[in-house]
Amino acid sequence: MKREDIDEHLETLWHLLENDESDSESFKRHTKGTYDEGILKSLQADGYLTLDGEKISLTDRGFAQAEQIMRRHRLAERLLTDVLGMKLDDIEVAACEFEHVLASELVESICTLLGHPRECPHGGRIPEGDCCKQVRKTVSSAVVPLSEVDVGVEVKVAYINTRSNSRMHKLSHFGVVPGTIIALHQRYPSFVITCGTHQIAIEEDIAKEVYVWQTDNPQTVSAPSQQGRKRWRLGKKN
């Protein structure tokens, strides 16, 4: 069997086991037109599952492989919805393609970028990876909207989730791009941030589109001196 075929069928088995369905008839029903009599026997011969009459059980090897497949798939779904802004109805095919090409290192990076989410957009559990286990032992990091950051805290821009090309261009022009350190100094009547030599006032809806790294031990900064700083306002019309 091809690697992708094995992955697809192990993914199906994972879904069935999550729903307490572990019989061959359920497997046949969920695989629809891709099912043939030799699939389960082939997976059994390769050490991914065991068959006891109609009952199907994953072996340790099969469980570990299926767990990694589901982790890649569900993290891909979160990436597509949270970062790329895709609708739930449109993500399934793209997530299936992602799960087959994501290297393990990239999966860890995506999980870290997203703040180690525990559930996919559909509410399914995302299996933990090494990065999730490590973050509990050290400093817990999370990606949050700028609108949720405390005043006086310095953060690093993770990504910008906006569908407005004009807004993206303006933010980039001011230096508000992934990897940049910014500081929030005011929340009302508008959000005021500093980015390099720029002091920028932005509306709340824009602050909700700028996602930043926030740690358990944030660096606090004092209010900036106005001397030598350029002031800009980025509002809804931008």
Domain boundary among the residues 104, 122, 138 is at 138
Please check whether residues 8 and 44 belong to one and the same domain. Answer: yes
> What is the domain range of residue 27?
3-58
| Cα separation values, 216 from 81, 140, 150, 220, Å | 26, 6, 12, 12
Please check whether residues 160 and 226 belong to one and the same domain. Answer: yes
pLDDT per residue as tens digits for the range 182-231:
999 999 889 999 988 888 999 999 999 898 887 555 555 555 554 444 44
Domain boundary among the residues 108, 138, 168 is at 138
Cβ(68)–Cβ(16) under 8 Å?
Answer: no
- pLDDT value at residue 179: 82
Please check whether residues 148 and 216 belong to one and the same domain. Answer: yes
Q: How far apart are the first and last CA of the chain?
A: 53
Give pTM, 2 decimals. 0.57
Please check whether residues 78 and 41 belong to one and the same domain. Answer: no
pLDDT per residue as tens digits for the range 73-86:
999 998 888 888 88
Please check whether residues 167 and 106 belong to one and the same domain. Answer: no
What is the C-alpha to C-alpha distance for residues 11 and 73, in angstroms, rounded to an integer? 9
Query: Between vectors from CA 12 to CA 7 and to CA 14, what angle results, nearest 5°?
Result: 95
In whole numbers, what is the pLDDT of the chain averaged over residues? 80
Please check whether residues 149 and 228 belong to one and the same domain. Answer: yes
Please check whether residues 53 and 68 belong to one and the same domain. Answer: no
Query: Rounded to the nearest 5°, which phi and psi values hold at 35?
Result: -80, 140
Please check whether residues 54 and 77 belong to one and the same domain. Answer: no
Please check whether residues 151 and 230 belong to one and the same domain. Answer: yes
pLDDT per residue as tens digits for the range 15-71:
888 888 877 788 777 776 666 667 778 888 989 988 888 888 899 999 999 999 999
pLDDT per residue as tens digits for the range 91-111:
888 888 777 777 777 888 888
What is the C-alpha to C-alpha distance for residues 231 and 108, in angstroms, rounded to an integer? 38
Query: Rounded to the nearest 5°, which phi and psi values hold at 177?
Result: -135, 160
Q: For residue 30, give the H/E element and its range.
A: helix 24-31
CATH code for the domain of 203: 2.30.30.90
What is the C-alpha to C-alpha distance for residues 121 and 83, in angstroms, rounded to an integer? 12
